[in-house]
Chains A and B, each alone.
Chain A
Amino acid sequence: MMTRLMATERQGALILSGLVALAGLILAAAGRGDPMGVHGWITLVFAGGVLLIALRALDAPEPTEDRLASYYDDPTKVGILLALFWAVVGMGMGVWVAAQLAWPELRFDAPWSSFGRLRPVHTSGVIFGFGGNALIATSFHVMQRTSRARLAGHLSPWFVLLGFNLFCLVAASGYLMGVTQSKEYAEPEWYADIWLVIVWVVYFVLYMRTLARRNEPHIYVANWYYLAFILVVAMLHIVNNLAVPASFGAAKSYSAFAGVQDAMTQWWYGHNAVAFFLTAGFLGMLYYFLPKRAERPIYSYRLSILSFWGIVFFYIWAGSHHLHYTALPQWVQTLGMTFSVMLLVPSWASAGNALMTLNGAWHKVRDDATLRFMMLAAVFYGLSTFEGSFMAVRAVNSLSHYTDWTVGHVHAGAMGWVALISFGSIYAVVPLLWRKEAMYSWKLVESHFWLALAGTVIYVFAMWNSGITQGLMWRTYTESGTLAYSFTETLVAMRPYYIARVIGGALFLAGAVIGAYNVYMTIRVAGHQAPQIDYPTGSEANEPAVPAAE
């Protein structure tokens, strides 16, 4: 892979990884005796590994191919493999923490294996590790294809991908050591946050530069969504993580916000992470891979416009619905609730646009599990956005809040929507990227599909039952006007559902493992096939002499 870089780029890689390694060394020295020091060592080893790879390829001959005549897919390939790695790790952690809730002995009494530390490893593992890598990888792919232009740069895609994974690694290892900012989905400490800002800015610049090179007059919808994802996540991340480090030698900082302002900032972040990370980015995926696979035109361009602007405009207001009936002033809650309800229309417009696109391709949905992954993702997207708007209504929220219903809702979105569209897209793109005729085994794709569906349904139904039972038990009064149930009794009532959740999660994990195996075998043994056309074309005259490089 390094040999596809020019000598200057390889030297650049050497210098960059050297700098990061140096930063790791400084972190290790400054944070001696603190988890920050461990993070320094992790950074040093990570960057050192990259440095070695660059060093070994330093004297390789210059690449001979005409680079502008093909797409640059190496970072995409690595990104997909990393996404699958994190999927297995993150979902595995999820099954473990779910099992801990049913069988607390599985906590094993070590500090690092306590629920509070493993849970963020699960959430960050699946959202950032799996979802983030899938987004970065597919965005590289989609951006190039829909712009008919090669990535603008050969170093920066690697910097973005590897830098992001370094962030994930620092985050996950930090949780195990007890490092946290105590902000959900924004747990990593200040130095990790700063690093992510650098990575993200490079990502944004790379994206814009590639877009500027495009050979298409118009920007395709998928790219609007990817762009919204990159831009808004940067904004959210920076604002919510504003903090003052307690010292430059330790993993501890104090938020710039306090009290209810802090809570509001956190949930403005938290909800828009759902919106722009887990929705906008994956809509980008959906808008490219679904019509591509179905070989049908998008049902309505006008609907795309309406839903895009609806989603980006309304979502930004909705965060306060996480703080109903709290110290947050009621007018803020009103805005959060009403905007959440108005948000339903563009959300459903997107889901509907996707499903209507399948008109004329339903026989393919029946026969092709890959397309069925995408179809089901759109269905779950519709379901969970409806549920979300519903739960944002204060009266409903007074029952659902703080219960497992919320957990069920999140997983309808995360498993049913985010993971399914990612797996569908991965199955669609892997044969193309590795120049194979098809996935190694369509039967395994098929079994992954059913495992994922069964797992999601079991999980979500278990949590609905558990959450509603829990919520109702909390608010049941006796004739005397006193509480009917103790907290422990609610736990006892929830236990069967917790066990069901472990089963659902394990099925889903099994599907992911099968998927990873299938991808591995595709790369190793599936038959070679060059696609018909998969290289940038400016105009007919510009047709490249060499087809896309292997």
Chain B
Amino acid sequence: MSVRERDPLTGHETTGHEWNGITELNTRVPRVIWWAVGITHVWALIYWVLMPAWPLVTTYTRGLLGYDDQERVERQVAAAYAVRTDWTTALATLPAEEVRQDAALMSHVARTAPSLFGDNCAGCHGADAAGGPGFPSLVDNAWLWGGEAEAIMETLRVGINAPHPDSRWAQMPAFGETDILTRPQVRIVVDYVQSLSGLETVATQERLAEGEILFAENCASCHGEDAAGNRDLGAPNLTDDAWVYGGDDAVMFETIHNGRQGWMPAWEGRLTTAERMMLTLYIQDLGEEAGR
């Protein structure tokens, strides 16, 4: 039963069908819709003519503008490199002291290094480079391998315990696990090492004396007679209050009993020499600021 009715409100006719009370008006498609259809289609057509658009069997319509995404991005990347070459070449070749003399170069460093550090280093060393358990602070002036520009550059280039052929090698032996020291002996050494940096210990004099002997026999070869560390081996100074892992009983027991081999990636091949130079200068400056 198809009964067309007129909707009193709009004056339009219905289509004459009804579904469970629902009817439809047969209103004409508003002109604005046809305009919109026209405009979007014409725009699409123009775009297809100008740009790569339709597949052919083995190729595609390339468009009158001859625009090619891949070419364009290669050009842009090349141009971006070109803009930077002047100062990045200088950074890659000049020694750090000379870079420091050059205000223009240093302003590039100041602009670039923070985000470089944030993207590559902050994940381990912390956003403020102050480190955390297992990851040394880079601003406390207590260096494992040295804080001179050359030393830092080398650390960054080859990494520590990293798969780089020239990697720095830091091995704190597992004295307990390899049975070089018994557990009580490890505890004695812990007490002794804590006393070196003025940490509170309740150990007796005899115990500390025993520790001193154990230290001289087992540890001094790397950490030094005076326990002030050895930068050739990356053995930390044990007399200061800067810790990579920590100075409290449990942590230090673990260090000496199970050993430690921190891992720092090698950045050669991942960051350019110029970038590593910027990071080196940046770390040094951060340390100086923190020291002040």
Contacts and interface: CB of A to CB of B under 8 A. Distances in A.
B118 interface: yes
B41 interface: yes
A481 B80 contact: yes
A141 B117 CA distance: 60
A297 B22 contact: yes
Contacts of A221: 24
A518 to B, nearest CB: 25
A218 B25 contact: no
Interface in A473-487: 478-487
Given A341-B44, A486-B114, A300 B36 contact: no
Nearest to A478: B111
Nearest to B28: A302
A354 to B, nearest CB: 13
A221 B9 CA distance: 22
A331 B52 contact: yes
Contacts of B21: 292, 295
A240 B115 CA distance: 40
Contact of B44 (A300, A342, A479): A342
A13 interface: no
Interface residues of A, number: 52
A148 to B, nearest CB: 7
Contacts of B53: 331, 334-335, 338
B22 A291 contact: yes
Nearest to A343: B40
Interface in B184-205: none
A148 B69 CA distance: 56
Contacts, number: 149
Nearest to A537: B20
A480 to B, nearest CB: 4
A148 B43 CA distance: 45
Contact of A338 (B22, B47, B118): B47
A303 B29 contact: yes
A257 interface: no
B22 A288 contact: yes
B119 interface: yes
Given A306-B29, A487-B119, A334 B47 contact: yes
A299 interface: yes
A334 B20 CA distance: 44
A298 B60 contact: no
Interface stretch (A167-175, A246-254, A344-352, A506-514): A344-352
B25 A482 contact: no
B84 interface: yes
A154 interface: no
B42 to A, nearest CB: 10
B26 A341 contact: no
B134 to A, nearest CB: 18
A352 B9 CA distance: 18
A505 B14 CA distance: 42
Contacts of A479: 111
Nearest to B51: A334
A486 B122 contact: yes
B19 A146 contact: yes
A303, A335, A478, A482 interface centre (most CB from chain B within 10 Å): A482
Contacts of B54: 331, 335
A218 B9 CA distance: 25
B115 A301 contact: no
A298 B112 contact: no
Contacts of A300: 12, 24-30
Nearest to A487: B119
B22 A220 contact: yes
Contacts of A481: 80, 83-84
B69 A486 contact: no
B19 A145 contact: yes
Contacts of A297: 7, 14, 22-25
Given A298-B22, A306-B33, A330 B52 contact: yes
A508 to B, nearest CB: 30
Interface in B41-62: 41, 43-44, 47-48, 51-55, 60-61
A482 B84 contact: yes
Contacts of A482: 84, 108, 111-112, 115-116
B271 interface: no
Nearest to B108: A480
A497 B97 CA distance: 44
A480 B105 CA distance: 10
The 9 closest A-B pairs by CB, nearest first: A486-B118, A300-B27, A338-B44, A478-B111, A301-B24, A298-B24, A482-B112, A331-B52, A146-B19
6 contacts: A221-B24, A298-B24, A335-B53, A339-B44, A479-B111, A481-B84
Interface of A: 145-146, 148, 216-218, 220-221, 288, 291-292, 295, 297-304, 306, 325, 329-331, 333-335, 337-339, 341-342, 344-345, 348-349, 352, 359-360, 478-489
Given A218-B19, A342-B40, 14 more contacts: A146-B19, A292-B21, A298-B22, A299-B27, A303-B33, A331-B53, A334-B52, A352-B33, A480-B111, A482-B115, A483-B119, A486-B119, A487-B118, A488-B118
Interface of B: 2, 7, 9-10, 12, 14-15, 17, 19-30, 33, 36-37, 40-41, 43-44, 47-48, 51-55, 60-61, 67-69, 80, 83-84, 87, 107-108, 111-112, 114-119, 122, 127
